[in-house]
């Protein structure tokens, strides 16, 4: 029986990188026409958030703030014009980039480097846009973790992201537009990543909507001994586990597959109805 008042399904945040050196797509959406086409595709597949980035997360060539703006702003403007009902997120740790991106149409700041630029959150608050509070353990942007240690990684994530969320609200970010992100692989090893999944219910229990960026990450590759192009099954398994435990949004490369996983998980739980039931009913 379909529920009388279905719970809201987890949102899907689609990754679209205007970078020539992305670890996963290897520059597939570097060209503006390819990037716009990809945005059209992911919206059609069910993404309600499009996350646009202009700098590779890991080590690589230096990208100035001006170059980052040149990469992301034309795409943000195009998506805002073509898909006015979609939330546009900008993946940046720089306040000046965020300010220009918001003026171009972004309404969510995905700060994957945990407030490295202290003015970034102030920009979000001044514009009253959404903000993703992440956890990196203090790692410098675009560096890889080395022999990291936490007495309790889950407790550390809850403390750091919770403090950032409270500060964001105090600066003017609407409370309902705040996400917290455990931030797999950033300042963490594979064992930390698995522990975060194992105890994700504790993070969900904070009451802040949880965003998880699991898609094809190294902790999945190391767990399964799979290369970058062979991690989709592991990603979707981790997604199903997390969706069943109340995670609010997933940042992903494979949008259609993630939408199916979220809906199937919700249908099993009885919080979403099947979409096309005829077998045995007619």
| Residues taking part in catalysis | 217, 251
Distances in whole angstroms, Cα of residue 46 to Cα of each of 6, 41, 162, 184, 216: 18, 9, 29, 24, 19
Radius of gyration of the chain (CA): 18
In angstroms, rounded to a whole number, what is the distance separating the alpha carbons of residues 279 and 282?
Answer: 7
Coil vs helix vs strand at 43 = helix
- Report yes or no: 158 and 183 within 8 Å, Cβ to Cβ: no
Return the ∠ at Cα 24 (arms to 246 and 190), rounded to 5°.
55
- Coil vs helix vs strand at 88: strand
CA–CA gap between residue 190 and residue 242 (Å, rounded): 17
Q: Show the tokens assigned to 68.
A: 């980052």
Backbone angles phi, psi at 52, to 5 degrees: -105, 125
CA atoms 17, 23, 28, 31: torsion sign: positive
């Amino acid at each position: 029986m379909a529920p009388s008042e279905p719970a809201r399904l987890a949102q899907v945040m689609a990754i679209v990188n205007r970078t020539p050196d992305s670890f996963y797509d290897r520059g597939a959406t570097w060209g503006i026409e390819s990037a716009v086409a990809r945005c059209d595709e992911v919206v059609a597949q069910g993404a309600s958030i499009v996350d646009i980035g202009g700098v590779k997360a890991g080590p690589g060539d230096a990208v100035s703030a001006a170059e980052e703006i040149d990469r992301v702003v034309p795409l943000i403007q195009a998506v805002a014009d073509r898909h006015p009902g979609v939330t546009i997120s900008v993946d940046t740790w720089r306040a000046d980039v965020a300010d220009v991106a918001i003026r171009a149409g972004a309404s969510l700041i995905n700060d994957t480097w945990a407030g490295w630029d202290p003015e970034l959150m102030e920009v979000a608050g001044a514009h009253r846009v959404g903000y993703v509070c992440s956890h990196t353990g203090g790692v410098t942007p675009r560096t890889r973790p080395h022999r990291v240690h936490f007495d309790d990684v889950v407790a550390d994530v809850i403390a750091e992201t919770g403090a950032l969320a409270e500060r964001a609200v105090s600066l003017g970010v609407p409370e309902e537009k705040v996400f917290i992100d455990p931030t797999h692989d950033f300042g963490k090893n594979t064992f930390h990543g698995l522990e975060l999944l194992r105890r994700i219910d504790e993070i969900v229990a904070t009451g802040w909507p949880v965003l998880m960026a699991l898609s094809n990450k190294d902790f999945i590759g190391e767990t399964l001994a799979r290369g970058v192009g062979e991690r989709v099954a592991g990603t979707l398994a981790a997604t199903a586990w997390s969706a069943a435990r109340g995670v609010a949004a997933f940042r992903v490369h494979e949008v259609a597959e993630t939408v199916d996983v979220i809906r199937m998980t919700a249908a099993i739980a009885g919080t979403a109805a099947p979409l096309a039931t005829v077998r045995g009913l007619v």
